[in-house]
Structure 1
């Protein structure tokens, strides 16, 4: 059967996870898709572009869209990310607002819900309580009631743990129920529509963000320069990548004392890039200062924002 032929009653559509930064959207995306397509980090605003992941079932094809967290922007980059998020919401069949089980619902969640309803007033909203493995069942029940109260009306709420997989299939059943009948959008072997270079850049950025604090994570951008066969070693690919920061002091932090942090970044990113490319890899990392790129329209455009 080609991916354009679909059985009767087959459902397909797009769902976007929304929520404050660090509510588990990217981890949940990876858990539903069944492999890592979205990077995760402890810093807020890690996701910088919508990532589409595919969930294939006999009765449905779900396109999960992981978006940057909607937030009150502090830079031109932040403003542009919010615009991307709003454009994405307008095209969804279902929007799921994610609330962690271990954090009280607050003004930030209400602000996001208000914005979603302004941009996509007719799109159904599903509530998801994430990270249920972190708290007691009683606390999960309290959070489910609070989320139901926040959403009001007919909105369903589902608890889930992306880490343990608890309620994963229940959540998928609920999502499918809300999708329209329609054809497959992608072949069965598709897991994401991100191109390889984007995925490599994200893996390097994830490794670079590990252990960073304060403002520096927001100042890190990554670009793949080129991927070439190694001239001397058969079966090895040379992957040349540039990490951009905004100030010389940040470059020193990324390199670390005696180049140790840079070595750790290469060590952490290399196996994942090698697996992605299906080849042995030599990873060449360079660090460049691109002064205040987050607020420079020209540099943002060059980096794809």
Structure 2
């Protein structure tokens, strides 16, 4: 009997350790995922265009296909690569993060340049293929294009998550990356599905609602979604510049070039302490985020000609493909 009690006590102890580990994984995943805000919002803002032009009944299946591709990207390719980096080449994490941050700055600045100057120069154009053949083939091509774009964004997200995981063992890192990666994918593509179908919901309510209020809500959804999509694009662009700029600034500090980071911190601190006591923390955070974003925008504008005139032609020459006309 005493042996059985001892065994049960050991099992209870193991269960407590397991439960604590699950809590640690969940907490680590949530904390690390928050740092990937810019890339996540960009992912949610970019994806809806891949279902534009298809029948309403095909929108959710296409999103599901892209989401499955995103999960495979994260779990089968990027997660093992991230673990190899963390355990055998951790010195590469900071430069790769800075590279991802620079890419976010480039993307954000490119969108702003396109909006300001109404020019396609330096702006990636996704051409709509004419449906002259099999619609299923077009759908497959669109999904593949979206999954390729997702791979770039997922690589940024997983690297940012990896940098936010406290030092731990191999399995804890793997579990945290997996939970965060799957959680972000569900959040992004669940949100995309809601956004894409909101027009249909609005049309249904406007046409079939029994109450005047219900029909008014439906009409409001139909009229409001284009504005919401514009707002999402603006927020996504601002988040990209903020997160990208802060990643590069922090990376420079880690590499021994802390001048800019120290000045941003000091300026934000000074601005924060000019505000009433109750607002000190908020004003300081907003000020720092704004300065990181301004730096990200400036860096992005510098990178636009480098990316479009040097890197893109070089990659096209290596791949044997002609640069895409803009």
Shared fold per TM-score greater than 0.5: no
Relative contact order higher in (CA < 8 Å, ≥ 6 apart): 2
Q: TM (normalized to structure 1)? A: 0.25
Greater radius of gyration (CA): 2
More helix by share: 2
Q: TM (normalized to structure 2)? A: 0.24
More strand by share: 1
